[in-house]
Structure 1
Amino acid sequence: MAYYDEKISFFRRQVVQKKHNESKLKELYTQRETLNIKADALRKDKLDEQVDVDRLEGHSLTAFFYNVIGKREEKLDIEREEAYAASVKYDVVSRELSAVNEDIKFCEAELRELHECEQQYAQAMMDKLKAIKSIGTQAAEKILRAEERISYLEKQVKEIREALEAGQAALETSNSILSSLDSAEDWGALDLMGGGLLSDMAKHSHLDEAQQQVEYLQVQLRRFKTELTDVTIHTDMQISIDGFLCFADYFFDGLLADWAVLNKINQSQTQVQNIQSQIEHVISHLTTLLSATDKSLENEKVVLNDLIVKATITD
């Protein structure tokens, strides 16, 4: 009987992986469609903002008007900031879209390799059923039902663990962002006290680090949400998870020159702390869910073992 159990266990793991990939792929297709629409809109914003900059830098009537009233440089600074912010947002979405496409390719490749696993699993179960019936036991159906329950619970455990790994990775990155912002805040305070060029450069260096990490965190948050596709969560938490996809948008609002002001850095810290709190809340829920699912899985394995032992003794 061990021979059948090994085959069933192998194909069952493949079936679990196939179903998980199918759910992920469905979510990824939806994300790709949304990101394509978003990228198109941001590309237009980026081009429009650059046109405004070019108009003021050139010899247009708009440039002449602001030059006459003595506010050309002030207006040009604002337009440059808006153009750069639009460019940053477009770059973030482009990286997200690239990451989603890579995930799609990976899932599709795995699914091609697993396309026959369900038939193989069904055949292995049929072979085991025949073997059990051949020795005259009446426990065949109970054993098969226990196998199916174990299969479902193993799938849940795998999905919860993968979601936890994604959440922990996002949490670590959010900690790194806070560290960079804290350093920028310290150098910014020194800059206000006359720290000079060195403190100003150090402050912006840490802000650059934070910007790069936020772009990476946005990709991680999207993957975290994807891993949660098959995990059952309550409605309030679902709303929180949906917010993961917009984090970079509101983080980069009011970017650039205003960031040099300490209260803007403080606002950015608050935004990161808020998303961090949401991540921790989901991780806590997943940890509790994993513990309960693990316990149920162990109980089902005990039930299955007892059924097999009884069937063997009976026969």
Structure 2
Amino acid sequence: MRRRLAEAAERVREHETVGGQVELLRRSVEEAERQLDGLRHAYEREQQDVERLEGRSLTRVVASLRGTRDDDLTRERAEAELAARREADARARLAGLRRDHRAAQARHAELAGAPAAYAALLDERERLLRAGRDRRADRLAALAAEQDWLTARARRVEEAARAAAAARTALAAVRDRLARADGWSTYDTFFGGGLVGSVMKHDRMDDAAAAARVADRWLAVLRTELAGLPGGWVAPELEVGELTRFTDIFLDNIFTDLAVRGRIRRAREAVDRAGTAVDRLRDQLAAEAGEVHRRRAAAAAERVGLLTAP
């Protein structure tokens, strides 16, 4: 069993190594393709210069009048030949990289089952040790339970992180619409917007209210996801207040305009606070995800050490 485990582990290492080679070669092929394209264009330009001097063209006439045609033609032919050699070298290099890339891909495909085969052998080894009441059995059982707990926590953290990202996007949309409403409010309040200004302002406020409802729903989802995480995680509330007022349009004066402008400004501040809180939560969730990953890796490494030890 130990020999089989060692061989399987070696195949896993080779699978990972070859996978890195496949990616490296893919990038090298793309870079070589770009270089060949540039060299091909350079050769075409040099060849065109030669053809202009050889054929009937204004370039040939001017060079003949100056008495430099033969020298110019010799130089341009030499430059064209050099460009052609560079293109040929680049084409050959690209062909070689493509062959290497295909070979690496083929080997990587051959080793595709290596990780699963190694995992199956480790599971088999663990069953044998635990069934035989080996001294390592209790620790292996504890590690299995820890991995189950960490896997569940990683899933909850990931779901909460997705909800936080969606809430952050929704809050950005609210902020954008409130900024537009604020612009119309400034125009309506200080520049005599009148009925048209009030209508446009309230249209933008309606847009902001609709966006705030979407953000509220995502924040509610975030609170639900965080409730499943131990540790007292708290998502913010979005308190933007009333964003629409029928009377402001029909009782249009500086007092109602200032009152509405104040509500918009307070709503923007509330959105900014909520956004800052969500950003802080995202940072905390990212740190938690990193810690869970570290603990899972450590538990997995300890398990492998126990299972492969004599």
- With normalisation by structure 2, the TM-score equals 0.51
Q: CA deviation at 1:254?
A: 7.1
Spell out, residue by residue over 1:263-306, the C-alpha distance to the aligned partner (whole angstroms, 9 max, x if none). 22101111111222222222222121111111111111111111
Q: 1:222 aligns with which of 220, 223, 242?
A: 220
The aligned counterpart of 2:151 is 154
The aligned counterpart of 1:294 is 293
1:232 aligns with 2:221: no
Matched residue SS, 2:160 = helix
The aligned counterpart of 1:251 is 240
CA RMSD of aligned residues (A): 2.8
Mapped partners of 2:164, 2:136: distance in 1 = 42
The aligned counterpart of 1:282 is 281
Q: CA deviation at 1:198?
A: 4.2
Mapped partners of 1:191, 1:222: distance in 2 = 35
Q: 2:138 aligns with which of 129, 138, 141?
A: 141
- The 5 Å alignment of 1:60-71 reads none
The aligned counterpart of 1:187 is 184
**Structure 2 segments unaligned to the other structure (5+ residues):** 2-122, 249-255
**Structure 1 segments unaligned to the other structure (5+ residues):** 2-125
Mapped partners of 2:166, 2:178: distance in 1 = 19
Instruction: Answer yes or no: is the 8 Å Cα contact 2:164–2:278 preserved in 1.
Output: yes
Distance change (3 Å), C-alpha of 1:223 and 1:127: same
- Given residue 295 of structure 2, which amino acid in structure 1 is its aligned partner? S
Q: CA deviation at 1:133?
A: 4.8
- With normalisation by structure 1, the TM-score equals 0.50
Higher-RCO chain (CA-CA 8 Å, sequence separation at least 6) = 1
Distance change (3 Å), C-alpha of 1:233 and 1:284: farther
- Given residue 268 of structure 1, which amino acid in structure 2 is its aligned partner? A
Mapped partners of 1:254, 1:179: distance in 2 = 14
Q: CA deviation at 1:227?
A: 0.3
Q: CA deviation at 1:201?
A: 3.0
1:212 aligns with 2:210: yes
Spell out, residue by residue over 1:231-284, the C-alpha distance to the aligned partner (whole angstroms, 9 max, x if none). 2335xx64xx3x52xx3xx42347524577322210111111122222222222
Spell out, residue by residue over 1:98-152, the C-alpha distance to the aligned partner (whole angstroms, 9 max, x if none). xxxxxxxxxxxxxxxxxxxxxxxxxxxx998653356784423222221111111
Counting matched residue pairs gives 178
The aligned counterpart of 1:199 is 197
Mapped partners of 1:265, 1:134: distance in 2 = 68
Mapped partners of 1:129, 1:300: distance in 2 = 14
Mapped partners of 1:253, 1:128: distance in 2 = 65
Mapped partners of 1:127, 1:299: distance in 2 = 21
Instruction: Answer yes or no: is the 8 Å Cα contact 2:125–2:307 preserved in 1.
Output: no
Spell out, residue by residue over 1:84-108, the C-alpha distance to the aligned partner (whole angstroms, 9 max, x if none). xxxxxxxxxxxxxxxxxxxxxxxxx
1:131 aligns with 2:117: no
The aligned counterpart of 1:262 is 261
Q: Tell which structure's C-alpha radius of gyration is larger.
A: 2
Matched residue SS, 2:229 = coil
Mapped partners of 2:273, 2:299: distance in 1 = 39
Matched residue SS, 1:215 = helix
Mapped partners of 1:254, 1:134: distance in 2 = 67
Mapped partners of 2:182, 2:243: distance in 1 = 16
Spell out, residue by residue over 1:127-181, the C-alpha distance to the aligned partner (whole angstroms, 9 max, x if none). 9865335678442322222111111111111111111111111111111101000
Mapped partners of 2:125, 2:308: distance in 1 = 15
Mapped partners of 2:124, 2:217: distance in 1 = 45
Distance change (3 Å), C-alpha of 1:296 and 1:127: closer
Matched residue SS, 1:228 = helix
- Given residue 163 of structure 2, which amino acid in structure 1 is its aligned partner? A
Distance change (3 Å), C-alpha of 1:309 and 1:275: same
Mapped partners of 1:281, 1:167: distance in 2 = 10
Matched residue SS, 2:240 = helix
